Structure 1
Amino acid sequence: MAPSGAPWVPIIFIIINIIMINHLVVPSSAASETELLLKFKESLQDNNKLSSWNESSSPCGEKSHWVGVLCYNGKIWGLKLENMGLKGTVDVYSLKELSNLRTLSFMNNDFEGSWPEFHALIGLKTLYISNNKFSGEIPGETFQGMQWLKKLHLSNNQFTSSIPTSLILLPRLMELRMENNKFTGNIPKLSQKTLKSFNVANNRLHGQIPATLSHMPPSSFAGNEGLCGAPLEACPSNKPSTISIVVVAVVVGVAVIVIVLVIFMLNRRKQQSSASLENPASTPQRKSHAKDLDDASVRSASSASTHSRRGDTMKLTFIKDDREKFDLTELLRASAEILGSGCYSSSYKASMGNGPMMVVKRFKAMNNVGREEFQEHMRRIGRLKHPNLLPLVAYYYRREEKLLVTDFVQNGSLAVRLHAYQGLGQPSLDWPTRLKIVKGIAKGLEFLYREMPSLIAPHGNLKSSNVLLTESFEPLLNDYGLAPVVNQELAHDIMSIYKSPEYVQNGRVTKKTDVWTLGVLILETLTGKFPANFLHQGKSKEEDLPKWVLSISPEEWPNKVFDKEMGSTRNSDGEMVKLLKIGLGCCEADMDKRWDLKEAVEKIQEVKERENDDDFYSTYSEADMKSRRGLSDEINF
């Protein structure tokens, strides 16, 4: 029997090995979670309270004693690290790899510093960080992608600036606790029917409480002297008070007296002039004294009249002191030329007499922004200085509209030079100029990412119409950093980042979304075609640029893809192809495959005007391109 049974022995061993391999899959996954939590632990100070976290056991094993780790079906479901005196940095990106993480609580610890990027944990349902020392601004767009978030507790920290308006986009929000911070501005119009618990007491909020929150108890709004409306006392009406009426009456009375005085002095001067003709003996000294008095009276009347007419409401706020100052009245009197007009903003060129030409951009999509929030953000933008950024000169705040004032750039926008140059009688942009422009755009975008790290999309609205060109064709980025002050309910119709694949498909904006807009802009610059993504609020039936480029074989790119008006220089086709591939890498629909900004900028700066290398198409094989084209058919950019 032994010989006949011998052939079955290897089969038995194979079956045993298969069973053992299948069982080894779970420990491999558990080891990965162990590594992630230990990496997270390393970012903390005074972490001896987490001594039970070690490599000798897995977080969710049968005999696991990892303190604060919540498990379900062998996977990490939550972390409850409360009352431990923890300090240091919250390594969000280690936690991001825990795909089953749904709840996070760091309450009653000693964490401090700016807002950790918890918004990267898009699967969270509850986030508790109350009773710490977190401080600074929470960017307005922070919660855009956190569609599952139900409970958010931020109370008893030191957060400043305005309450993030992206909270209105959380469809499942049930609890929002933000009391005992330093939040300023208005309360966003939260209208979620799921919201049961709400508290913003003891902040620095002002304005009318949204009607959708009027059913909340008064204690939810206590300690904010500037708040009014139900359930607190009614907001004051717009009818003038007795004091204001008296003040106006006094001002008008003074103005009348000044005017009468001016008329009297002018008549007196006229009489003196007539007397001097009849009596030449009048002394020159007396005439001089009368003239000085008359001039002083006129100046006094003019000053009083101007102050009464303008007041503080007509003042522009200038970013820097070294600029020539003018007020809104002078700006409105200047000869103006409309540069562009849309549903949400309009641009005008204003000629300031013998002074500089300015551009005034009027925004209608910022009327939910409080004065303090708007001013603080404008100061933040005003501090930015880079050769490829158009500096903000001044701004004007009024509740109903906002004005941004910049210098006029003579050469116009990249959009005009790409798509309307013939109608304006201008030459097309050649290849070296387009490469120079793309490199400058990349440098400006890299600077924004470095200087404004708290913003998810530091530019937010990168497109050819927001790239201006100097006389030497150096690009200047415009309309950057405005995402936090644009009304969230209108933002998806206005800003280019909301045309991205991740937002269209999942309602998300990430650190790579600006990279997607950079990629589309590169393709637009090389092809001369306008991106369909930005036409008709992204609903154009035209084929979008990335998909169109991928539909064409790489060997045919020089003849079928590149703008014929761009021309080429000797041995430049290979470099043009390199830049085109960089554009495709930047606007990859799959964010995991999309390049990050640092990699994109490095690759762009390596592109030259010409090269001797004839192997232009080595990066993408034909099979690879077919694979990418198939992916494009499945995923609509």
Structure 2
Amino acid sequence: MVSALVWFVFLLLFNSSVLVGCLNDEGVALWSFKQSLQDPEGSLSNWNYSDENPCSWNGITCKEEKVVSVSIPKKKLGGFLPPALGSLTALRHVNLRNNKLYGSLPVKLFEAQGLQSLVLYGNSLSGSIPSEIGNLSYLQTLDLSQNFLNGSIPASLLHCKRLRTLGLSQNNLTGALPDGFGASLVALEKLDLSFNNLSGSIPGDMGNLSSLKETVDLSHNHFTGSIPESLGNLPEKVYIDLAYNNLSGRIPQNGALVNRGPTAFLGNPGLCGSPLKNPCPRDTLGASPPSSLPYIPTNGSPMTPDGGDGKGRGLSKGAVVAIVAGDVVGICFIGLLFSYCYSSVCACRKHRDEDTGNFEKSSKRRKECLCFRKDESETLSENVEQYDLVPLDMQVSFDLDELLKASAFVLGKSGIGIVYKVVLEDGLTLAVRRLGEGGSQRFKEFQTEVEAIGKLRHPNIVKLRAYYWSIDEKLLIYDYIPNGNLATAIHGKAGMVSFTPLPWSIRLKIMKGIAKGLAYLHEFSPKKYVHGDLKPNNIMLGHNMEPHISDFGLGRLANIAGGSPTLQSNRMTSEKQQQQETPFEVASVSPTMNSASFYQAPEAPKSVKPSQKWDAYSYGVILLEMISGRSPIVQVGTTEMDLVRWIQLCIEEKKPLSDVVDPFMARESEKEEEMVAMLKIALACVQANPEKRPSMRHICDALDRLTASSA
């Protein structure tokens, strides 16, 4: 009996050893990874040692039974990054972003020489970047942002010549950029080195990064010296951010550096010249004339630099006449050429209009239009589509699959499409606007517009985080702002059980925030934008009732996207009408009149292009609405009039302030002076003559003085 029991135990142990021993080498390497981790969410629960290979494990992708991808983002995995990953010979992609990994980057990890993407941002990794990273000659994406890495950027990184995305922001990196940085990494499309302690000068060869598509972010470092003029060689649509360094000298005005707003250069006290308001000293206003050219004094007598009379060196009278005559002929020739080309392009446009829908007929005519014609490479084929989510900053930590699998709730519907509240698996909440289906495929134009909007960063502007474009779908992904819109906060909405009007202090805070957001758009954004459609419905309120201006540029994007947005979605799952949350709904104020039109400036219907003065007028109407607590349409007896006219009528009739101000604020009599001051600002904004309206920057200054005096 005892011997039988011993034999049974032996067989059991033997069979267990057979089971344990069947996992292949790659599975054993990954199993050691699991053993070294804390996995509080059980994300690796199906990783079993008894499996033949790891290809069915969560986060593992295989090709021909070889591991090619390890992707386990946002699962709160804690522990050291294992060197065993380097033994996976076919490994191409590692994505362990937004976990709790710590310790240094293991040198053996870089033995996986076929690695194409290494995404580890949002962990707690420390130590330096090993020089062995240069072994990854196929590397295209390297994102180590938001860690605690230190030391310098290794020169061996320049061996990664296929690198397209380099994100090292928010670390503790020091030292200068490696020599040849720009000349070596010419394939770079995204570059973010912000929020480090990098020093030295900006390499002049960075102008060679001609493949860049988004932002070159070198902000919040310790770079010194002047801004290389070669940065102007970068593609013009690239936004160059050099803010908060120790740069000095004149800001070059060439190529991609021309017409930039001041935001890109703030925090560099030594910089001068446009677009900053810090003028350059006289001795740096420009290069002095070359010494070989004669200096012409005011009396007209040519003198050489050494003080001689310049005889034999100056130009004769005949030569001067010949030069002038040549210039005149050249200018005339250019003028004629311009006129011819202009008429040609107009003719082209006419032929194109006549042959709309029949490109075969007009192809011959288009060949004759030789001037002012866009390069054909800039035109997107109608068959080209983009089927992936495009992030607009390095902080986007979700992908298209996560977005489409998330729960979605309808927040509001309009002629421009549906807005959803989308809750991802990890709890991140977003607002997604669907622009509709179909329409013309003007992707390049859409891309340029949406990426420009995505660069706007201000506490009072809703952040556009990402977008998606295809024939069937156009999505804009924003930060979700939780406290609804200003229209609801002022007036409540139908069906609301209880409604508490905002106190004056909150209203004042909101009014200041809106002004700051508009001033940023007008004065400090890269292109000095205009909103053009400001109203309480598109001013969202955050956790602390801080305002966020939304829907900026939306009409333009909807027009480019084309088609009529439908009111149904076949993309979002779990669509539910969430009745208690409708921050994008329009407050119902009158069944007979369209309230939105009363926020438009009087000159708007007659103008083609919106102006900053339009926004000032809209802002003034919103101020009147917040001060009075009334809708933009006021019922007076049996008639209705707009709020601006009603306020003006009250002033003409010398009615007491209590008749104008929201009755709820009657108890706040100590704030009466502030209310009167705000009323004056509002009336200045709604002047019929646009030229008499103040700029948003002046309004911000007035509000700052007002709150400072009452503090």
TM-score interval w.r.t. the shorter chain? 0.3 to 0.5
Instruction: Please report the TM-score for the alignment, with normalisation by the length of structure 2.
Output: 0.42
TM-score, length-normalised on structure 1?
Answer: 0.46
The structure carrying a bigger helix percent of its residues is 1
